[in-house]
Amino acid sequence: MKNSLSFAIGLLSAAMSGMALAAEVPGSCAVEWTPAALSQVLKDMPKADTQRGKVLHSSMFCASCHGVAGESLSTNWPSLNGQRAEYTYKMLLDYQSGLRFEDAKSSMMKVEAELLTKQDMADLAAFYAAQPLPVAAHVASVPTDKLIRKGDVASLVTPCASCHGLHGQGGINETPALAGLPREYFIRSMENFSNGSRHNDGVQAMRAFAKPLTREQISALADYYAPVADK
């Protein structure tokens, strides 16, 4: 218990130091992914141990932000339960390298990721992927939001479902599930993609998608994918 408490205090202290320095650190000095490089990294992802991932989730205090099994109870942090393993693995690599560092909130995840090996990342990703994806009834039925089904031809916005699945369950490889993401986290992520402060999306796909969206459209999408308790 004493060792766990010391670890938690040390982690928090390091994260706070990172937050204090966030204003001095550019968004990222890391090289952005090329499709070929990312494809190879995902192909080389270590064979995962779900049970070991569960142990890491506990020992690394991931539950303090992301819930007992990845089901975030805060609108500030994403839910990870049911998330595609490839996406979670890539996000941890991006935090570790600094490619994902859109604001001071990223400091905690960067500190966490720097403590992980690629095997750790794969195991954690597998643990979250093994949990049920929280898909609300309206998401599980035929989507009712036009942006999800048809996109917006006038703004050259492609349908969300074309990449993230008809029910927000995620697509292939690193394309994430959107179902169950807390409303405020979803909005903040889209705004960060839109203004360019988050730039860890392959071939700038999400930046291109988010940029033409209005605040009202982003809010409507957030409402659609968010868990019922978050509305």
Summarize pLDDT for 177-209 with one digit per residue, the tens. Answer: 999 999 999 999 999 999 999 999 988 999 999
User: What is the location of CATH 1.10.760.10 in the chain?
Assistant: 2-20+31-129, 137-230
| Topology of domain 2-20+31-129, CATH | Cytochrome Bc1 Complex; Chain D, domain 2 (1.10.760)
Structure tokens at 36: 């070929």
Residue-wise pLDDT tens digits, 87-131: 999 999 999 999 999 988 899 999 999 999 999 999 999 999 999
pTM for the full predicted model? 0.85
| C-beta separation of 199 from 28 below 8 A | yes
Whether the per-residue pLDDT at 86 is higher than 50: the answer is yes
Q: Would you place residue 25 in the very low, low, confident or very high pLDDT band (cuts 50, 70, 90)?
A: very low
Residue-wise pLDDT tens digits, 156-181: 889 999 999 988 999 988 999 999 99
pLDDT above 70 covers a percentage of the chain that reads: 84
Whether the per-residue pLDDT at 135 is higher than 60: the answer is yes
Phi, psi for 130 (deg, rounded to 5): -80, -10
What's domain 137-230's architecture?
Answer: Orthogonal Bundle (1.10)
pLDDT of 175: 95
Q: Is 21 exposed, middle or buried (0-12, 13-18, 19+ CB in 10 A)?
A: exposed
What's at 48, amino acid-wise? A
Mean pLDDT of 218-228: 89
pLDDT of 14: 45
The crossing angle, in degrees rounded to 10, of helices 106-114 and 2-21 is 130
| C-beta separation of 139 from 225 below 8 A | yes
Please report where in the chains the tokens 């339960």 appear, as a residue.
Answer: 81
Please report where in the chains the tokens 């490619």 appear, as a residue.
Answer: 99
Q: How does DSSP classify residue 24?
A: G
The crossing angle, in degrees rounded to 10, of helices 183-195 and 215-225 is 140
pLDDT of 3: 46
pLDDT of 73: 82
- Please tell me which residue, 14 or 134, carries the higher pLDDT value: 134
The crossing angle, in degrees rounded to 10, of helices 106-114 and 85-97 is 90
Q: Which of 3-7, 68-72, 140-144, 176-180 has the lowest mean pLDDT?
A: 3-7
Structure tokens at 229: 């308790």
Contacts of 119 (CB under 8 A, 6+ apart): 46
What's the count of helices (H) and strands (E) in the chain, helices before strands? 13, 0
What's at 120, amino acid-wise? D
Helix, strand, or coil (residue 133)? coil
